[in-house]
Chain A
Amino acid sequence: MADLAHQTTRAPGRGGARKGTRPGRPAPVPARPPRRARLLRGLTPWLFLLAPLALLITFTYVPIVNMVGYSFTDWDGVSPELRYTGGENYRELATRPDLFEVFFVSGYYLAASAVQIVAALYFATILSFNVRFRNFFKGVLFFPYLINGVAIGFVFLYFFQDGGTLDSVLALFGVHTDHAWLGTPVSANTSLAGVSVWRYLGLNFVLFLGAIQSIPGELYEASELDGANRWHQFRHIIAPGIKPVLTLTVILSVSGSLAAFEIPYIMTGGATGTETFVIQTVKLAFQFNKTGLASACAVVLLLIVLAVTWIQRRLVPDDRVDLT
């Protein structure tokens, strides 16, 4: 999730892709400053980078390197002794197809993210025009993303309970179901994926909204003069204008679907066929104390996500937007 948050702050700027004149290099200084001053000037950016780099290295790269290290051992997570077993964990992964069956569950989340992107795009487009209460609706849509994932898990357990919120709401409309929402694998996975859409819709929505609002307003005016309706505007101005953000969102959604974790973990703990690859990894590490094998699983997931991203980048190259 850290990645997502990271992207939030960056993406609108990228989506903007506004053309402007870059400030040129400062005029050359006539006399070279003394050596110490030059050294200091060279060091300054690094001094600023010191804190973020230290954090990045300590909390991202060192753990990754450690994890890769553990993936070649038979460590149980606590014992003071660990043996290097070479590629044994990877061999086990390759010879146990049952460990990859759980990826079918990701299909539900993948389908859900398609729904999520379309919905987010729809809302972002509508709310970028002048609509009454638009700021209120923006808030409503973004709000779920601000809630802690654990809280969401617990809230939706009540929601799906027999005679819970969902059943009561349906009863208001005269639909009296007697359906255990988390009872069968299909129904449970669909419900969980639905929760995931509810939660992450706001994030996609904000990304799209930012990108859409960075499209110059004159374009709409001009198109209206030419007789374009809302759909034409979306088709020829908005869609191409936010293409980089759209690609980015798709990449995030695919990797997010492969690594779905907290909602199913909290709500069902992987029961009733809702186990995802990450839940399985966590169980290997903390339930069966196979930290080595679990690290190997994590490395493989990382590689799969990288590969998917790379393929996507190949299929949809990230070109510059030019609306003029």
Chain B
Amino acid sequence: MNRRTALAVAVGAALLAAGCTSTGSASKGADAEAPDDPAKVSGTITVLTQRTDLVQSGRMKKYADAFNQTYPKVKVEFQALTNYEAEVKIRMNTENYGDVLMIPAVIKKSDYPKFFASLGAVEERSEKFRFTGFTAVDGKVYGQAPIGVMPGFVYNKRIWREAGVTDWPTTPQAFLTALKAIKDKTDATPYYTNFAAQWTLSSWTSVNGAVHCDPKATDRLASGDPWAEGADLRVGDTLLHDIVKQGLAEKDPTTTNWELSKPQLAKGQIATQWLGTWAIVQFQDAAKQAGVNPDDIGFMPFPAQTGGKFCSTVSPDYNQAVNVHSKNKEAARAWIDWFTEKSGYDKDNLAISPLQNAPLPAVLKPYEDAGVKLIELDDTQGAKVKLIDNESEVGLYAPDYRLDLVDLARGARKGSLDDFLGDLSEKWTAAQKNVGP
């Protein structure tokens, strides 16, 4: 280090000491009250969103116009962030992170009151809305998801029919047999991992709860071993492993392409993918663009039954919240209420409505016919699960360990499935002890 560098470091240190990192000034416990008279609310609100596509296509602007019919004096501006999580996370170190935003996954639940204004009490809101437990801290709700999503297999009905499988498989074993039939009787790739996109693999975590139809499944992650014999995640991960191991997935997973996989599934080159209800609309669009029948896109639950019935978990998409530092909390609250109840965003996305008494979207008609039981996971221990997840570096909500799992299954990584899952259990339970009660 020469003299000039030393000088610069000294200056840098002085700057730092002068207080570059001022933290802990956040106010706490503000409320965003619903306005009494829509005509009187005024102000300009900035809405941060991850839906860059809707902002670009002008769809968001149309929602804002419809909103203005009820709230004429509120001006809504959108900021679409491509890399939502990462960008918002950094902005949240300041007070300037929009008036309405989606709660990023990184924020600890216990910190919600420091960042967001409350929308009301749990008891009151839960009568009308779903998912209130996911953002509740000390009896107050801090966010509301405009849509609910359900994990499941998006599949091409025509291909499954051609393979001679007409009923949904009821066990993982039956599912594998069905995929094998597809491989033998059709030209389609039975299952597509979308390995290169990575997030497609992390969605396998949402198997949790569906296998044993247990609304308390999140609690089990917090206090039990998720990869114990017969546990939900073990069942799901074993199925993924077996699909790849038996050669029922695409030949070269490492160079898959998410955007291309949509028309491929619509056209029947791919038979199945594990995604969520949110994907249906995208695959139907792909089908329309490719000139094939969008009704071929089907959706089925995880192959496991409890008491002769399928089970599926419903969870919130991103929750919308009001910035605790917002100058226009009433207007922001008005936007969230309107967007949740009246915008039609849920129908546009063929998604599950956040309103308790709303009917299922038409595309899930087969679910009603089959009597699939929908459960909402109890999220009381959700924050603790995230803590354990970070502490253990397992990454339940990150793709890493499942990338390794797929590598293991196709022989690009040495070891056995039992050792691999055992290793995960070990890391998880060790972290459980560190995190404490």
Contact of B111 among A57, A60, A79, A161 (CB under 8 A): A79
Q: Is A107 among interface residues, defined by CB-CB distance under 8 A?
A: no
A103 CB to nearest B CB, Å: 18
> Are B93 and A162 neighbours in the complex by a CB distance under 8 Å?
no
Give a binary string over B1-28; 1 marks a CB under 8 Å from any A CB, 0 the rest. Answer: 0000000110111011000110111100
User: Given that A57-B12, A64-B12 are contacting pairs, would A164 and B255 also be in contact in the complex, using a CB cutoff of 8 Å?
Assistant: yes
User: Given that A57-B8, A269-B198 are contacting pairs, would A80 and B393 also be in contact in the complex, using a CB cutoff of 8 Å?
Assistant: no
Note all chain A residues with C-beta closer than 8 A to B24. 80-81
Contact of A182 among B255, B393, B398 (CB under 8 A): B255
Contact of A66 among B20, B23, B389 (CB under 8 A): B20
Nearest B residue to A98 via CB reads B393
> Are B393 and A76 neighbours in the complex by a CB distance under 8 Å?
no
Give a binary string over A98-112; 1 marks a CB under 8 Å from any B CB, 0 the rest. Answer: 000000000000000
Q: Is B225 among interface residues, defined by CB-CB distance under 8 A?
A: no
Of the candidate stretches B158-166, B276-284, B345-353, B399-407, the one touching chain A is B399-407
Nearest B residue to A178 via CB reads B251
Note all chain B residues with C-beta closer than 8 A to A184. 412
Note all chain A residues with C-beta closer than 8 A to B393. 284, 288, 290
Which of A53, A268, A287, A290 is the most central at the interface, judged by chain B CB atoms within 10 Å of its CB? A287
Q: Is A289 among interface residues, defined by CB-CB distance under 8 A?
A: yes
Note all chain A residues with C-beta closer than 8 A to B403. 269, 271-272
> Are B20 and A78 neighbours in the complex by a CB distance under 8 Å?
no
Contact of B16 among A66, A271, A288 (CB under 8 A): A66
Q: How many A residues are at the interface, by size bracket?
A: 35 or more
> Are A183 and B254 neighbours in the complex by a CB distance under 8 Å?
yes
> Are B254 and A287 neighbours in the complex by a CB distance under 8 Å?
no
> Are B89 and A77 neighbours in the complex by a CB distance under 8 Å?
yes
Q: Is B195 among interface residues, defined by CB-CB distance under 8 A?
A: yes
Give a binary string over A146-167; 1 marks a CB under 8 Å from any B CB, 0 the rest. Answer: 0000000000010011101000
Note all chain B residues with C-beta closer than 8 A to A50. none
Complex: A183 Cα to B409 Cα, angstroms: 12
A45 CB to nearest B CB, Å: 12
> Are B413 and A273 neighbours in the complex by a CB distance under 8 Å?
yes
User: Given that A65-B9, A69-B16, A288-B393 are contacting pairs, would A162 and B106 also be in contact in the complex, using a CB cutoff of 8 Å?
Assistant: no
Note all chain B residues with C-beta closer than 8 A to A80. 23-26, 111, 114
Q: Is B107 among interface residues, defined by CB-CB distance under 8 A?
A: yes
Q: Is B430 among interface residues, defined by CB-CB distance under 8 A?
A: no
Q: How many B residues are at the interface, by size bracket?
A: 35 or more
User: Given that A62-B16, A269-B198, A272-B407 are contacting pairs, would A81 and B11 also be in contact in the complex, using a CB cutoff of 8 Å?
Assistant: no
Complex: A93 Cα to B11 Cα, angstroms: 29
Complex: A288 Cα to B397 Cα, angstroms: 10
Q: Is A260 among interface residues, defined by CB-CB distance under 8 A?
A: no
Note all chain A residues with C-beta closer than 8 A to B252. 161-162, 180, 182-183
> Are A188 and B254 neighbours in the complex by a CB distance under 8 Å?
yes
> Are B395 and A157 neighbours in the complex by a CB distance under 8 Å?
no
Complex: A66 Cα to B399 Cα, angstroms: 30
Q: Is B342 among interface residues, defined by CB-CB distance under 8 A?
A: no
Note all chain A residues with C-beta closer than 8 A to B413. 185, 272-273
Contact of A287 among B13, B15, B398, B407 (CB under 8 A): B398
Note all chain A residues with C-beta closer than 8 A to B360. none
Complex: A188 Cα to B253 Cα, angstroms: 12
Note all chain B residues with C-beta closer than 8 A to A126. none
Note all chain B residues with C-beta closer than 8 A to A56. 8
Complex: A64 Cα to B257 Cα, angstroms: 37
User: Given that A77-B89, A80-B114 are contacting pairs, would A272 and B12 also be in contact in the complex, using a CB cutoff of 8 Å?
Assistant: no
Give a binary string over B389-429; 1 marks a CB under 8 Å from any A CB, 0 the rest. Answer: 11001010011100110010010110000000000000000
Note all chain B residues with C-beta closer than 8 A to A183. 252, 254, 410, 412
Q: Is A61 among interface residues, defined by CB-CB distance under 8 A?
A: yes
Q: Is B39 among interface residues, defined by CB-CB distance under 8 A?
A: no
Q: Is A286 among interface residues, defined by CB-CB distance under 8 A?
A: yes
Note all chain A residues with C-beta closer than 8 A to B254. 180-183, 188, 268, 271-272
Nearest A residue to B390 via CB reads A288
Contact of A288 among B25, B395, B399, B404 (CB under 8 A): B395
B9 CB to nearest A CB, Å: 6
Q: Is A82 among interface residues, defined by CB-CB distance under 8 A?
A: yes
Q: Is B196 among interface residues, defined by CB-CB distance under 8 A?
A: yes
Note all chain A residues with C-beta closer than 8 A to B8. 53, 56-57, 60-61
Contact of B13 among A65, A268, A272, A289 (CB under 8 A): A65
> Are A180 and B251 neighbours in the complex by a CB distance under 8 Å?
yes
Q: Is B174 among interface residues, defined by CB-CB distance under 8 A?
A: no
> Are A157 and B398 neighbours in the complex by a CB distance under 8 Å?
no
Complex: A273 Cα to B108 Cα, angstroms: 31
Complex: A161 Cα to B257 Cα, angstroms: 10
A300 CB to nearest B CB, Å: 17
> Are B16 and A65 neighbours in the complex by a CB distance under 8 Å?
yes
Note all chain A residues with C-beta closer than 8 A to B435. none
User: Given that A162-B251, A182-B255 are contacting pairs, would A65 and B12 also be in contact in the complex, using a CB cutoff of 8 Å?
Assistant: yes
CB contact list, A38-78 vs B, under 8 A: 53, 56-57, 60-62, 64-66, 69, 76-78
Contact of A57 among B15, B25, B251 (CB under 8 A): B15
CB contact list, B62-93 vs A, under 8 A: 86, 89, 92-93
Pairs of residues from A and B, 5 with the lowest C-beta to C-beta distance, nearest first: A61-B12, A182-B254, A162-B252, A180-B252, A161-B255
